[in-house]
Amino acid sequence: MCMLALLFPEVGEQDFTRECQVHGPQLTPSVFSPIDHQKLEREARICRLLKHPNIVRLHDSISEEGFHYLVFDLVTGGELFEDIVAREYYSEADASQCIQQILESVNHCHQSGIVHRDMKPENLLLASKLKGAAVKLADFGLAIEVQGDQQAWFGFAGTPGYLSPEVLRKDPYGKPVDMWACGVILYILLVGYPPFWDEDQHRLYQQIKAGAYDFPSPEWDTVTPEAKDLINKMLTINPAKRVTATDALKHPWICQRSTVASMMHRQETVECLRKFNARRKLKSPQLAGVHCCSLFVLVQQESSESANTTMEDEDVKARKQEIIKVTEQLIEAINNGDFEAYTKICDPGLTSFEPEALGNLVEGTDFHKFYFENALSRSKQGPVHTILLNPHVHLIGEDAACIAYIRLTQYMDASGMPRTMQSEETRIWHRRDAKWQNIHFHRSGSPTVPLNSLWSYVAGLVLL
């Protein structure tokens, strides 16, 4: 399957007979996989729902043998942030006008049941090079469809500096993630640098989760309180209290711009923004010289290895790590003798194969409850330490996964001697209502201590 993006100049509904321009790479069948095809169809389906002057419009999606065509608006004005640094005059009022158009596009997306999930400067384009050209939101490759104000875990997707706290916490999320990113964008529009910044991604994420930003002097001294108030409303950690796009458009700094927003030229902002743009391009060299229209080629954006963007392959890594983490939590519940925590992580219909069941398939948690009540709850002989070696995770669609690993358990036996036991385990996980539950496990091997030493036995027993 090969794919091209056909890009129309902005035309009226009756002008589709004019010749269009063709942009984007031709991809060989080995590159364009069935998964890529599914993503392309998803993006096309979402784009068909969106018809707004501040969103790049998909005019048509055409499939032929060996090719797939997407027909978009041709936008020639380049990135908004690049245009700003080329202007002779740029004020707070101009920033207000820019963010208003961005909010209009986001509001239309949200009213149409779409969450963009990748709001960032690279996806804010200008319709043309004419002064006052419309801002256009582009690239819906990571966008998802939601029902109303639905909140769920849709996977880890976005760009590091623009990710919201709830995404980083792997909490259920929805439309408010776009508003957080808009808050980051507005902050940059006003001073030319982001509210959260660190070369170390882990420290960056800690800043974001804590909402650790401020308005330092002297650059923020000349920004009006109303602008800061809107940023605060957008960068609210609790998504339930974060301002919506509809309400943000009603904010005085937006709807009363002529009397509220400052008209003073912000030369320092322009200079800082120029440096910020240079850093972005340095982080993403393969995108630096690309014509803006090429950004609409879905696979170019999703297959990018840019350090500047967290693509869905990183979502796969995050989901695999999530499976390892929940497995560790379950084993910790076993080591702590916490049957309540154990049952919260296990499906009520949990099935298991283990040597202690003498070759029988065990269903439910009653078989394991015996050990929690008669051994683990009274086990005070010493600590238990477990290590998972060589965990391998296989994702099965969006809501299922399998993990296989070697488990080493260290414990003190009844005589006070340290012991180590090893088992090979496989666990099947299924996600229901945004929570992972263990639905099956298999344990190989046999107890290496006498079964009449109940504590020793249980310490090595896999109870999943």
pLDDT digits (tens, 9 = 90+) for 434-445: 889 999 988 876
What is the mean predicted confidence (pLDDT) over 36-60?
Answer: 88
Cis peptide bond prior to 239, omega within 30° of 0: no
List 36, 83, 94, 118, catalytic entry: 118
Beta-strand runs (E) in 154-309: none
- Phi, psi dihedral angles at 141 (to 5 degrees): -65, -25
Quote the pLDDT of residue 210. 94
What is the mean predicted confidence (pLDDT) over 288-306?
Answer: 34
Question: Which residue pairs from 31-35 have beta carbons closer than 8 angstroms and sit at least 24 positions apart in sequence?
Answer: 31/299, 31/303, 32/1, 32/2, 32/3, 32/299
Q: How many CA atoms lie within 13 A of 206 on its CB side?
A: 6
- Answer whether 441's CB lies under 8 Å from 429's CB: no
The 10 Å CB-count burial string (b at 16+, else e) for 133-149 is bbbbbbbbbbbbebeee
Report how far residue 233's alpha carbon sits from residue 240's, in angstroms, rounded to the nearest whole number: 11
- Is the CATH code 1.10.510.10 the one for domain 75-307? yes
* 195 has a pLDDT exceeding 80: yes
Residue 48, C-beta contacts closer than 8 angstroms, at least 6 positions apart: 58, 61
* Residue 385: both structure tokens together: 């330490």
Quote the pLDDT of residue 28. 41
What is the mean predicted confidence (pLDDT) over 249-277?
Answer: 94
What letter does residue 67 receive in the DSSP assignment? E
Q: Are strands 361-363 and 346-353 parallel, antiparallel or unpaired?
A: antiparallel
Distances (CA, A) of 40 to 105, 113, 171, 252, 277: 21, 18, 27, 39, 29
Residue 412, C-beta contacts closer than 8 angstroms, at least 6 positions apart: 381, 382, 383, 418, 419
Q: What is the pTM of this model?
A: 0.61
Residue 237, C-beta contacts closer than 8 angstroms, at least 6 positions apart: 165, 209, 210, 211
| Span 366-383, pLDDT tens digits | 888 877 777 655 444 467
Place of tokens 């078989």: 367
Gyration radius from the chain CA atoms: 27
Please tell me which residue, 400 or 186, carries the higher pLDDT value: 186
Cβ atoms within 10 Å, residue 340: 8
What is the mean predicted confidence (pLDDT) over 106-117?
Answer: 96
Quote the pLDDT of residue 17. 31
In the chain, what are the domain boundaries?
2-73, 75-307, 316-460
Which stretch, 293-297, 381-385, 447-451, has highest mean pLDDT? 381-385
What is the mean predicted confidence (pLDDT) over 417-433?
Answer: 85
Quote the pLDDT of residue 284. 54
Quote the pLDDT of residue 363. 87
Alpha helices (H) along 284-311? 285-288, 298-302
Quote the pLDDT of residue 237. 96
CA pseudo-torsion sign 442, 446, 450, 455: negative
Range of weakest confidence among 44-48, 309-313, 396-400 = 309-313
Quote the pLDDT of residue 293. 33
* 200 has a pLDDT exceeding 60: yes
- Phi, psi dihedral angles at 132 (to 5 degrees): 80, 15
| Span 227-259, pLDDT tens digits | 999 999 999 999 999 999 999 999 999 999 999
Classify 387 as helix, strand or coil: strand
Please tell me the CATH code under which domain 316-460 is placed: 3.10.450.50
Report how far residue 370's alpha carbon sits from residue 393's, in angstroms, rounded to the nearest whole number: 30
Quote the pLDDT of residue 79. 94
Question: Which helix H or strand E contains 371, and what residues bound it?
Answer: helix 366-374
Cβ atoms within 10 Å, residue 236: 18
- The closest alpha carbon to 105, from 47, 159, 50, belongs to 50
Confidence category of residue 306, pLDDT binned at 50, 70, 90: very low
Confidence category of residue 216, pLDDT binned at 50, 70, 90: very high
Question: Catalytic residue at 118?
Answer: yes
Please tell me which residue, 214 or 378, carries the higher pLDDT value: 214
Classify 386 as helix, strand or coil: strand
Report how far residue 329's alpha carbon sits from residue 388's, in angstroms, rounded to the nearest whole number: 12
- The closest alpha carbon to 398, from 327, 281, 315, 308, belongs to 315
Quote the pLDDT of residue 375. 60
- Answer whether 67's CB lies under 8 Å from 4's CB: yes
Cis peptide bond prior to 218, omega within 30° of 0: yes
Fold type of domain 2-73: Phosphorylase Kinase; domain 1 (3.30.200)
* 462 has a pLDDT exceeding 60: no
Region label for 433, one of left (φ > 0), alpha (ψ between -120 and 50) or beta (otherwise): left
CA 250 to chain centre: 28
Please tell me which residue, 161 or 279, carries the higher pLDDT value: 161
What is the mean predicted confidence (pLDDT) over 129-152?
Answer: 92
As a whole number, the mean pLDDT across the chain is: 80
Confidence category of residue 313, pLDDT binned at 50, 70, 90: low
Classify 212 as helix, strand or coil: coil
CA 17 to chain centre: 40
